Structure 1
Amino acid sequence: MHEAPPAGALPYYEDPSPGTGALPPRAWWAVSDARRLNLGGAWRFRLSATAQAEDESFARPGFDASRWDVLPVPCHWPLQGHGRPAYTNVRYPFPVDPPFVPTENPTGDHLRQFDLPDDWPGGAAVLRFDGVESCARVWLNGTELGVFKGSRLPVEFEVGELLRPRGNVLAVRVHQWSSGSYLEDQDMWWLPGIFRDVTLIERPEGAVTDFFVHCGYDHATGLGTLRVDCEPHGTVTVPELGLDIPTGEPVIVPVEPWSAELPRLYDAELATEGERIPLRIGFRTVAVEDGVLKVNGRRILLRGVNRHEFDPDHGRAVDLETMRRDVLLMKQHNINAVRTSHYPPHPAFLELCDELGLWVVDECDLETHGFQEVGWRGNPVDDERWTPALLDRAARMVERDKNHPSVIMWSLGNECGTGRGLSAMAAWIRGRDAVRPLHYEGDLSSADVDVYSRMYADHAECELIGRREEPPLEDAELDAQRRAMPFILCEYAHAMGNGPGGLTEYQAIFSAYERCQGGFVWEWIDHGLRRRTADGTAYFAYGGDFGEEVHDGNFVCDGLVFPDRTPSPGLLEFKKVVEPVRIVGDPGRGTVTVTNLHDFADLSGLTFRWAYEEGGEAADRGRLKVPELQPGESAVLELPLMPKRTGRGEAFWTVRATLAEDTAWAPAGHEVAWTQFAAAQGDAQGGQFTAGERATAGRQFTASGQFTPNRGKPHSPRLAEGGMVVLGPGVFDAATGALRYLNGNQVTGPALDVWRAPVDNDRGMAWYPQGQLDRQWRELGLHRMRHRVMRVAVGGDTLTVTTRVAPAATDLALHTVCTWSSTGDGLTVDVEVTPEGDWTLPLPRLGLRMGVCPTMDEVEWYGGGPGEAYADTRAASRIGRYRSTVDALQTPYVRPQENGARADVRWAEFRRDDGTGLRVEGAPPFWLTARPWSTQALDAAEHTHELVRDRTLWLHLDHAVHGVGSHACGPEVLPDFRLTAAPATFSFTFTQLAPSEPPTALRSLTHPEQP
């Protein structure tokens, strides 16, 4: 690694200093009565392969750029056909040789000609850039304004004296790589360009230079303190509070506080001699007291997500509509907090958080994770030559965002190791804003911060931390300081592909320990870039799809929403787990207990409704009168008395909490929380089974939950021509015992199956191979199990097939006995599985795989739904009757993997257009997966467009499935959700469906009928 020469000897893009020519950073405001000119739109663009390929003549007025390409600004030029995106998580895509960058340095020259509006008043003006990656040099009308870095931070230049009424020429040279790139290694696409707004802003004489709104709240008295510091002095009016006060002077008045749940804002105006600025003021106080993070005197629980700015077509060039969509989706899914990973977002996003209500941890544009690859040698945060750049980034974040009530913490950055530069940043921020706590996870001593933050600590460690019993630090003073801090998981529950699992167990810890104040799921959105195949089929691309030399594959796709912002099953699970109202049923007593888990809001804004269902059909419904419980309060409420059972099946209560009226983020009727529980047993008319009776009832226990008599006289198996055995509606191969035909329709299987297309969490972490289940499963051979038919026996009323199912090169096996029988028009198989040998690995799944006619693509089932669920992701699954198509059952993870299972299925029917088809009943309830391609095809596919419909509809009828966990970057599957090889018994009954009209009054998969 080279020693950096003196700053003056380096080209500006390699100089570690923050830049030249910029005005001091200041607050951002969206509008005022000062004129603004948006300079976005069509710019001329030229891309060069190196930083010095072209001279500076393009910046002079009169330069002919008519042959250049046209580029929309804001944008990233690799997404406009110039160069290619590249994705890395930790590793820099260039040699680690700070502050130098490769000679191969894509450089984009941008030109914009503009006229001033006829009524532009002249005088002082500033040119503002809100985001340029990664280093820019700027000229206006041939005069150089300066150089800046800090890609996701604003910069302003004074330009008033350079402006002309007509023919202004703005020239910007942008380099993809610079010394600033070493500070911006943030697990995302490397995408250069002018990707945020460029604005010309008039600065009249006496206009606001900067201002700082201080709004405190005393929860004991209900009084708010307001002081607005402003340069130059002016006045502040708050009509609703009757205030008209000079800037710089505090005033104390009764107010309603701001919180994420009740985002109360007061309209105000700041006026100086030259400018009027509308303000929206929120009164709130943030503090760490008694080892707990509090807002307005109350402990808060963060139900948060990490949010990168991303759009599948435009990268980090995100418009206001998309930002609002993010916030609305978060609010609608019970999310109350955002960590702006790992840089300040567009400032308009924070305005939305103020307006709609989200707690925000605002994180600086700083990460040097790639230095970990070289043992942190040369890490800029511990090199004083870089400290000015670090302080510059801290100041630009704090000054821009200091007036947002939603911002309750500053974060120094992410994954930078440790160093003196971070301490300098912390000291500067505290000196400028002593009110907000500081966050940084990378220093486990927590020497410079106010909260103890960790990434991906597992459940057991979180419990230790909750009890303040974590392993001690060597420094006793630092240990005592950290042990007294609140604890936050700044990243947890890595939402990559199918998952994350274990959310319910994390939330239980947050509820049990005051110190554990929640955290932020990694992360909000999959960063898949939309691409199309030659025939126009859309899919999402990830690392390696653009020919990168160094990349980290689909690790960039680890969000709770898909790239197009469609909620994933993981988001629906998270919504259920973090719901702010707990509803617990006690069917024996006929009551429900409702607990308000909000931090500030009472329950007056919610309506509670109950539904009583039998066999998945509503028998009765009504409203439940719930008191306006304050946060933390509970009430026990009696359910209505129900009549005798109708005998239509299992009976369930469902209780739902919905919005009573429209809000800014969702309409009336939007579901906030729910519970479902079985009705009390013992109703003689219902004939309900106990759990033990159900387990032994076999084919006599129908999937609707009712005991029914046999459908008819048992059939006896008989030999037929061609080496076949006929048993009721089934035709079997006499030699292998394989079912060949069912009711005259050709079938494949059913056969015992243990393999699934590994999910991203099965693949585990590249740096922890011993935890990679995918690799271990394949080494054992679970993806290529062999079946040896040991015995086919015909006797009495049954056909018994004994099979040894085993992987090659080992003596492990699953001894399987399938006993077939038939009564009436049904065919039943009772399955007994006994493991042989010492199984140390969990099984991916355990059940039967069966291939049937692909035209049966209409599905109805009674069981868990409407969406997918796995052993550790089933909180959001509720029992009901659902209808879907086979296609709609698939979850389109960006990288294909196991998906689409439905839990607790009693029965399922697969129909053709004419109503004919197949009914499957299971005892005990089973996991159902149906897909138009095989597991092998799913396993082999790298992108969704590679999945091609098979000539077979593949049904997976699973007795049990392994959990999914969070091990792509977080904890493994918890012990309770590991599918350990153990003796198992289960049965399925197959029945032909006659032509009929499909029912119409059932919940559909995509739009379930709300009870």
Structure 2
Amino acid sequence: MNDHHSHAYVEDRSPGTGRLRPRAAFASDLPVLRLDGDWRFRLASGLDDLTADFAAPDFDDGAWDLLAVPSCWQMTGLPGEPRYGAPAYTNIHYPFPVDPPRVPRHNPTGEYRREFDVPDAFPAAAAVLRFEGVDSAFAVWLNGIRLGDGKGSRLTTEFDAAGALRPGRNVLAVRVHQWSSGSYLEDQDMWWLSGIFRSVSVAARGIEDFFVHAGYDHESGRGTLAVDVTGPGQVSLTVPELGITGADPAGPHVIDGVRPWSDENPRLYQGELVAETGERIPLRIGFRTVAVVDGVLTVNGRPISLRGVNRHEWHPLTGRTLTGDTMLADVLLMKRHNVNAVRTSHYPPDHRFLDLCDEHGLWVFCEGDLETHGFEPGGWHRNPSDDPAWREAYLDRAVRLVERDKNHPSVIVWSLGNESGTGANLAAAAAWIRQRDDSRLIHYEGDWASCSYVDLYSRMYIGVDELAAVGRGQEAPTADPADDARRRSLPAVLCEYGHAMGNGPGGLSDYQQVIEAHRRLAGGFIWEWIDHGILRHAGQDDHRSFYAYGGDFGEEVHDGNFVADGLLFPDRTPSPGLVEYKKVIEPVRIRIDPAACRITVLNLHHVRHSGYLDFRWTVEDGGEPVGSGSLAVPATAPGATSTVEWPADLTAALDAARKDGSGHEVWLTVTAVLAADETWAAAGHEVAWGQGLVVPAAASSPFPPAAAIAHDGYVALGSARFDTRSGLLVRLGDLELDGPQLDVWRAPTDNDLLGAFAEPQITAWRTAGLDRMHHEVLRVAPDESGLTVTARLAAAGSSSGLHVVYRWTACDGPDAGQARLRLETTVTPDGAWPVPLPRLGVAMSLPGTDAEVEWFGPGPGEAYRDSRTAARVGRYRSTVAAMQTPYVRPQENGNRHRVRSARITAPGGTLLITGAPVIDLTVRPWSTRALAAAAHQHDLAPDGRLHLHLDHAHHGLGSAACGPGPSAPDVLAAVTAAFAVEFSTTR
């Protein structure tokens, strides 16, 4: 115990002392003592506040708190107030002065103690103490004996416990420091959290390690199996399904007719290693071969396309501490949304997650625990990546990554880390990996300019035009001709794209079209899987909950809600972005050709034929089902296309719909669902769908003219009443209204507010005054055929404006209380308009806090002009409350795109809206101003009015928060536009 006051290891660049050689994560039937549970805990403020002799077995810790292990100590006490410090979020900047390897002396330090009993029969002489994850640096004492120290927070660390472990009572003491030299290597885009956040155990060790090599020859269909075993003693291999019994693991064993492992068919052969001591270790063997062939990424001889996500480990109450059920939920959600690949950004995950990827089928880019992004603001000065003093730490992280996860068939690529510049230490790590495991590829995006030590040309957040150039091999050359030639021979991958922050990402279908058009493009990974929101209460006595982000814990430096950029909301509810992505990347494409009366099915799988799917058709007339049935589609081979003529029952249903003469649109929808249960979803789960318009809507009847009559204070037009001065519609039949009026502003999205590579769009919008436009009525003119209102929309101080003409026509229906009203709006820009408009439409309101909404058009969820692939035409019903999308930071949301007609049933009456022919519809219980001002969802409250937006168009969503803005066709330019909408009411 005489050295426990030495803290040099905290700032020492060394990755640790006293540690055992890294090895694979595996199960054994040898005994294990699980040490998870309540530990005694004290949080010291820093190195000057440590507890003397805390590691002594007889130290009295009775007054200390109890803290769960595993856990992150800053998350304790939530959703109320954090009990031990607080979470802090930065994307790039270190939350302390950059002076490597030094860290602040005010360094919160967790002191942990755990008593446990060791049975007499436990083989203490062969025991190891295993930590699966500790953030950041830690030192360990067992029964007062210092075993060592370690860094590398998200990597497994083992110590030899044999000399300290004893039968009966044992005391484990661990000191965990929030900051260390290792923190400079762990600047990943995530919350800074500390503690023993993964499991701890004492395990008997027999077989030290093994490495399964299971290759597949796609030409012969043979598998080759060899298992390298690290002693002691003799070990035999048994794999019953392969006819291997009691064999030499090293083999090699050549087996004819094996079924290879892939994401689509994750075939695992169950095996076992048996030591002469009797120890048994279960194996799950997947045969597969990863290779680059003519610049194309292949597995088992077939090109693959990565439909991936970047996944951080996250839970809104426990941070990076996840249960097995949570990990399984992630995997199942991915598979159910057609995701086939995961990049474990930016560290190795809990090894149990990789077990699930093996079982259910996900390609994995397994990433090292490395990021030094915080050196970039200083021009990468003193960046560890090229500093020889850090070489050992870099190699240690690479070695521990590979050794732990080397037996997972799902892992096809080793990724060195993320955003750490370039340098000799990264090259050395790549060289070590290539020597240790040449069966996988090496990835690191930071080397994209040369690709001198990687096997993939990796980029992030480039636009579709540049991506297409890369696909053609026409990217800009590198400085070195040799590097340039090598890079052009490599597959290209988007390690990050489609930044899923807030409302977005837009343009995913554009990326996918380019990816599918070029064999060199191996696909990519959306950033990212889940919003890292932290569940909190609004106040000490206010238990309304919300999701906190950067700045909500009083951080000195932070990056706001940039941490909320996932396809899942923090509670793992799929966002509209994930629903869109599922449709964009569906592995089977269904196209309907009404003119030829045929259906085409394109199979985009790389090994699986379409026979695992059932195809079904549905015909809807005006959104109401009029027929359905099954569709016989032949089992279509990977990459092949099948064409199916319409079956007789489908033709009959369409003929009946045509003869019905309803005048409504008739749509044919074909879905592909699982024919049988899979490990990741039950039979009937929808994988893909296609839709086609078979009968267009009949033309609407013209309005008979009705005179507008001026009265004292109002103008009457049929059953409508308008204010004489403002020209606003104030009543239609018995329904009180306010508006409509031209509106060009939206509550800014995260993609509007942020610009990673260009000036944020919001800057130009606010400079133009679009957030403070004034509506000046110039003339209210009733006449014999209707009402004309002219106005100008402009901002104070601006000479640019928008001229607007509202032309109202009306007629009364045959039933009392019915009214029909048509608004034609013409907008003409006046002056210079160098900026696009956020939206172009009219806004109005009616009394109420909630209402029933029914619409015919795309749905059921929100959709925008560059994020609408997943919306299918139908008839949908919802409440206003349910139509709000709860983004972690409130923003523009809930738009229903290209709505044909809608019915809003509020307490004061029913309003019917009809597009002429279509309109974008948003209904909210709060105003745009309130939405824009809210920082969190609990800041929003119904104001007694239902706010309607009837839009001609929206500016695209894009991905500008960390990527490109909307593509040119999705930019809403300020040009002359005209649009129409009709209103009616019923009692």
Fold shared by both chains (TM-score > 0.5)? yes
Q: How does 1:321-720 map to 2 (within 5 A)?
A: 321-443=325-447, 444-534=449-539, 535-640=542-647, 641=651, 642-644=654-656, 645=658, 646-648=660-662, 649-679=664-694, 688=696, 705-709=697-701, 714-720=705-711
Deviation string, structure 1 residues 76-119 (Cα, Å, up to 9, x no partner)? 11111100110000000011100000111000000000112465
Question: What is the match of residue 978 of structure 1?
Answer: 971
Structure 1 residue 654 displacement after superposition: 0.6
1:217 equivalent to 2:216? Answer: yes
Which residue type is aligned with residue 678 of structure 1?
Answer: L
1:303–1:578 Cα contact (<8 Å) kept: yes
Q: CA deviation at 1:764?
A: 2.3
Percent identity of paired positions between Structure 1 and Structure 2: 56
C-alpha distance 436-855 of structure 1, shift in aligned 2 (>3 A): closer
Q: Is 1:733 paired with 2:723?
A: yes
Query: How far apart, in 1, do the equivalents of 2:700 and 2:947 lie?
Result: 29
Where 1:108 maps in the other structure, the secondary structure is strand
- Report the Cα offset of residue 951 of structure 1: 1.2
Say if 1:314 and 1:168 are closer, same or farther in 2 by CA, change over 3 A.
same
Distance 2:316 2:51 in 1: 34
What are the superposed Cα offsets for residues 750-773 of structure 1, whole Å, 9 maximum, x if unpaired?
Answer: 0000000010001122x65x5311
Q: How far apart are 1:738 and its partner, in Å?
A: 1.4
Does the CA contact (< 8 Å) of 1:856 and 1:917 recur in 2? no
Secondary structure of 1:138's aligned partner: strand
Alpha-carbon contact 2:235-2:275 (below 8 Å) kept = yes
1:563 deviates by 0.6
Please state if 1:816 is matched with 2:804. Answer: yes
Residue 257 of structure 1 pairs with residue 260 of structure 2: yes
Equivalent-residue separation in structure 2 for 1:429 and 1:872 (angstroms): 41
Q: Distance in 1 between matches of 2:201 and 2:611?
A: 44
Higher mean displacement: 216-225 or 779-788: 779-788
Which amino acid in the other structure matches residue 837 of structure 2? L
1:272 is aligned with what amino acid?
A: A
1:516, 1:163 → 2: CA distance?
A: 54
Give matches, 1:913-928, under 5 Å. 916-928=909-921
* Partner residue, 2:753: 763
1:895-922 deviation per Cα after TM superposition (whole angstroms, max 9, x unaligned): 00000000110111111369x4111111
Match for residue 32 of structure 2? 36
Q: How does 1:149-160 map to 2 (within 5 A)?
A: 149-160=151-162
**Matches of 2:6 and 2:467, distance apart in 1:** 50
Give the partner amino acid of 2:74. Answer: P
Deviation at 1:991, TM superposition (A): 1.2
What does the per-residue CA deviation read over 1:592-622, in whole Å, with 9 as the maximum and x for residues that have no partner?
1111001111111100111111111112111
RMSD value, Cα = 1.4
Query: C-alpha separation between the residues in 2 aligned to 1:932 and 1:708?
Result: 31
Q: Unpaired segments of 5 or more residues in structure 1?
A: 1-7, 682-687, 689-704, 995-1011
CA deviation vs aligned residue, 1:201-248 (integer Å, no higher than 9, x gap): 012xxx211000000000001100000110224111111111122121
8 A contact 2:72–2:195 mirrored in 1: yes
Deviation at 1:937, TM superposition (A): 0.3
Please point out which of 886, 901, 905 is paired with 1:911. 905
Q: CA deviation at 1:719?
A: 2.2
Structure 1 position 720, deviation (Å): 2.3
Matched with 2:858 is 864
Bigger shift: residues 374-383 or 832-841 = 832-841
In the aligned structure 2, how far is the partner of 1:252 from the partner of 1:753?
71
Secondary structure of the structure 2 residue equivalent to 1:13: helix
For 2:556, give the aligned amino acid.
Answer: E
Q: SS at 1:277's partner residue?
A: strand
2:69 matched to 1:73? yes
1:604-659 per-position Cα deviation (integer Å, ceiling 9, x unaligned): 11001111111111121111111111110001111232315112310111111100
Distance 1:744 1:650 in 2: 31
Residues 792-831 of structure 1: CA deviation (Å, up to 9, x unaligned): 1111120100111112222211111111111122122111
Paired amino acid for 1:600:
V
> Partner amino acid for 2:797?
A
Q: Secondary structure at the match of 2:174?
A: strand
Report SS of the residue matched to 1:189.
strand
| Alpha-carbon distance in 1 for matches of 2:493, 2:850 | 49
Q: 1:776 aligns with which of 764, 772, 775?
A: 764
Report the alpha carbon displacement of residue 710 of structure 1 after superposing the two structures with TM.
Answer: 5.5
Question: Number of matched residues?
Answer: 955
Task: Kindly provide the CA deviation profile for residues 722-755 of structure 1, in whole angstroms up to 9, marking residues without a partner as x.
Answer: x111111211111221112222333211000000
Which residue of 785, 798, 806 corresponds with 2:794?
A: 806
Paired residues of 1:786 and 1:806 also in contact (CA < 8 A): yes
For structure 1, which segment, 418-427 or 47-56, has the greater mean C-alpha deviation from structure 2 after superposition?
Answer: 47-56
Aligned-pair CA distance for 1:290: 1.0
5+ unaligned residues in a row in structure 2: which ranges? 77-82, 813-818
Q: Distance in 2 between matches of 1:777 and 1:924?
A: 29
Secondary structure of the residue that 1:675 maps to in structure 2? strand
Give the stretch that moved more between structures: 788-797 or 306-315.
Answer: 788-797
Instruction: Specify the alignment match of 1:697 in structure 2.
Output: none
Asked whether the 8 Å contact 2:36–2:70 carries over to 1, the reply is: yes
Q: TM-score, normalised to structure 2's length?
A: 0.95
Amino acid at match of 2:948: L
Preserved CA contact (<8 Å) 1:79 1:314: yes
SS in 2 for 1:226: strand
Q: Within 5 Å, give how 1:185-334 maps onto structure 2.
A: 185-203=187-205, 207-232=206-231, 233-244=234-245, 245-254=247-256, 255-274=258-277, 275-334=279-338
**Structure 1 residue identity aligned to 2:182:** G
Q: Which residue of 2 aligns with 1:891?
A: 885
Q: What per-residue deviation string (whole Å, max 9, x for no partner) do you get for residues 825-871 of structure 1?
A: 21221111111222111111111100111155111000110000011
Partner of 1:695: none
2:984 is aligned, of 962, 971, 991, to 991
Given that 2:120 and 2:168 are in contact with CA atoms closer than 8 Å, whether structure 1 keeps it comes out as no
Q: Does 1:951 align with 2:953?
A: no
Three-state SS of the structure 2 residue aligned to 1:598 is coil
Q: Distance in 1 between matches of 2:413 and 2:531?
A: 25
Farther off after superposition, 839-848 or 115-124: 115-124
Q: CA deviation at 1:776?
A: 1.3
Question: 1:9 Cα shift?
Answer: 11
In structure 2, the residue matched to 1:724 is: 714
Q: Is the 8 A contact 2:859 2:874 kept in 1?
A: yes
Answer whether contact 1:357 1:406 (CA < 8 A) is retained.
yes
Residues 370, 855 of structure 1: alpha-carbon distance in 2 compared, 3 angstrom cutoff: closer
Displacement, 1:10? 7.7
Q: Which moved more, 1:664-673 or 1:617-626?
A: 617-626
Offset, 1:880: 0.5
Equivalence map 1:732-751=2 (5 Å): 732-751=722-741
Tell me, yes or no, if structure 1 residue 144 matches structure 2 residue 146. yes
Q: Which amino acid in the other structure matches residue 493 of structure 1?
A: G
TM-score (normalizing by structure 1): 0.93
Which residue does the alignment assign to 1:696?
Answer: none
- Which of 866, 871, 878 pairs up with 2:872? 878
Partner of 1:27: 24
Is the 1:828–1:987 Cα contact (8 Å) retained in structure 2?
yes
CA distance in 1 between partners of 2:96 and 2:754 (Å): 26
